[in-house]
């Protein structure tokens, strides 16, 4: 959900942190303090954030982390499904959804910068078929749709 809609962001943030803690315990992987801090920085908003912006956010509350430690944390968080990389923006966004299969599609607002993610079961088959027809074995797909969110369209008089 775009964060400026009727949205309880504190609930969204606490749910995402709880899911990460539970998943790491279940998977027997270490959810270190650094990994948690990076995830918390991303959970501050639904606007995709660069690694260097994360470093700046973390430096505001303590020592400035080395870029490599933030990139390693981001790699771990992405591998575990707690964050997504927005390829077109070279940025990351926390995952606040539970995915039950299908393709994840990112909706990116060109005006306010917010991102939302939706899952589409309907797209999974056609994307797999396209790849198969080309003799290609996909490992990961990133679908990004750029445009204007409902609030920005409304503010521009387009809704």
pLDDT tens by residue, 61-96: 889 999 999 999 999 999 999 999 999 999 999 988
| Predicted confidence (pLDDT) at residue 8 exceeds the cutoff of 70 | no
For residue 159, the model assigns a pLDDT of 58
> Mean pLDDT for the chain?
89
Region 93-108: mean pLDDT is 84
Q: Which fold has domain 103-155?
A: Dna Ligase; domain 1 (3.30.1490)
Could you tell me how many helices (H) and strands (E) the chain has, helices first? 6, 5
**CATH class held by domain 9-94:** mainly alpha
Share of the chain above pLDDT 70, in %: 93
For residue 33, the model assigns a pLDDT of 95
Residue 27: Cβ-neighbour burial (10 angstroms; 0-12, 13-18, 19+): exposed
E-strand stretches of 64-142: 83-86, 91-94, 103-109, 115-120
**How is the chain split into domains, by residue range?**
9-94, 103-155
């Amino acid at each position: 959900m775009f964060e400026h809609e009727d949205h309880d962001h504190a609930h969204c943030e606490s749910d995402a942190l709880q899911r990460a803690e539970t998943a790491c315990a279940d998977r027997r992987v270490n959810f270190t303090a650094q990994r948690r801090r990076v995830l918390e920085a991303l959970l501050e908003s639904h606007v995709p954030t660069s690694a260097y912006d994360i470093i700046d956010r973390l430096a505001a509350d303590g020592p400035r982390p080395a870029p490599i430690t933030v990139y390693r944390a981001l790699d771990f968080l992405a591998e575990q499904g707690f964050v997504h990389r927005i390829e077109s923006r070279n940025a990351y966004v926390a995952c606040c959804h539970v995915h039950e299969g299908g393709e994840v599609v990112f909706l990116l607002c060109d005006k306010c910068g917010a991102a939302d993610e939706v899952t589409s079961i309907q797209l999974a088959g056609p994307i797999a078929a396209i790849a198969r027809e080309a003799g290609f074995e996909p490992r990961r797909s990133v679908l990004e749709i750029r445009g204007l969110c409902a609030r920005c369209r409304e503010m521009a008089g387009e809704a």
